Each structure stands twice: as C-alpha cells, then as structure tokens.
Amino acid sequence: MAISRARKEELLGQYTEQLGQSQGVILAHYTRLTVPQLQALRRQAREQEGQVFVVKNTLLALALKSHGVEIPTNLLIGPTLAAFCHKDAPPLAKIFKEFAKESEEERFIVRGAIVEGHYYTAEQTKQLAELPGRDQLFAQVLRTINAPATQTAGVIAGGIRQVINVIKAYADKLEEGGAAAATAA
C-alpha cells in the first residue's frame, strides 16, 4: 500500500531525528514475527534506552545519507527493523543477537549496524554484542584504579596490626612479671 508524500516526509524526519540522537543503529531482517514477539523486542530495547522501528528502506537510506553514512544497498532489502541506540550499542546488539538465536527458521536475522558513523557487518555486529556495556567498562576502570590503593591500605593496616600485637604482648609480659613479683612479696 502506497503512503502519501506527507507521511514519507514525516517518517524521513523521524529517522533523521533518531539518527541525530543515537549512538548507532542496529539493522535486522524479519519475517512472520508475531505482535507479542515484536512488543517484547521493543520493551527490551526501551530498557536499554533504545527504540525499535519497522522502517521504510528507501527513507532510512536517505536519512543515513543525510548523516554522511554510506551502507551496502543489499542491507536494506525486504522488511527491516532498526534499533536506534540512544545510550550504548553493545546492549542492543546483544538483545538482537539473542532474539535472532531464539527465533525459529531464520525469521529474524541481524544484518549489520552503524555505530558512530561506521558500518559494521552482521558478523562484526555479533562481536559488538560481546563487548561489555558502558557501565561495566566504568566499573572495570574504577576497580583497576582502586586496586593499588586497596592493597596499600591493607599493607599499612597489616604493619600497624603487627606493631599493636608486639606492644600488647610486651604489656601482657609486664603484667605477668608484676603479678609474679606481687605474689612473691
């Protein structure tokens, strides 16, 4: 069914706006997905601050071109889902990869991604899904930065503990010596 020129312009504007706000786009080919399956995919994407759209291929290609991104023409053939990543691309790539793995008879195939203006093939997109997310990377960096300080504090505390133990042992020895002298007198 043909859509009006006004609707096409509206969709083009929507895609362009989404591209401007997002870190990247993950593209997938789909066939015979049920409404609940598509809703579940959209819900998972929203949890990762992404949005999933069924896109018009020519309009998405025009939006990508307006952002200076060139992609292979065979990428946008047939029914296409686009996930716009507003925060991180790896978590959305992981959602798409898992969804493709769970779908039967190749009803959902990840075709590729565009992240920060660079095109990634389907295989590279699957590798992107294996990367840790931004929050995980920050946690790893903080752990790495914090490790020497934690170790230094442990060494200092251990030294202080040893000194305290020596002083306590000496005090106990003096108390025993004083108690023995009092008993003898």
pLDDT at site 183 = 64
Domain limits, the chain: 5-131, 132-185
Helix or strand or coil: residue 152? helix
> Tell me: the pLDDT tens digits for 11-23?
999 999 988 888 8
Query: Can you say how many angstroms the Cα of residue 101 is from the centroid of all Cα atoms in its chain?
Result: 19
Superfamily covering domain 5-131: Ribosomal protein L10, N-terminal RNA-binding domain (3.30.70.1730)
Q: How far apart are CA 130 and CA 116, in angstroms?
A: 18
Q: What are phi and psi of 53, to 5 degrees?
A: -130, 145
Q: How far apart are CA 108 and CA 100, in angstroms?
A: 5
Residues ≥6 apart with Cβ < 8 Å to 49: 85, 86, 87, 88
Q: Check whether 179 has a pLDDT greater than 80.
A: no
**Closest alpha carbon to 62 in 50, 74, 53, 71:** 71
Q: What are phi and psi of 162, to 5 degrees?
A: -65, -45
Specify whether the CB–CB gap between 29 and 112 falls below 8 A.
Answer: no
Q: Is-above-0.75 flag for pTM?
A: no
pLDDT at site 84 = 93
Work out the mean pLDDT of the chain and round it to a whole number.
85
> Tell me: the pLDDT tens digits for 60-93?
989 988 888 888 878 888 899 999 998 888 888 9
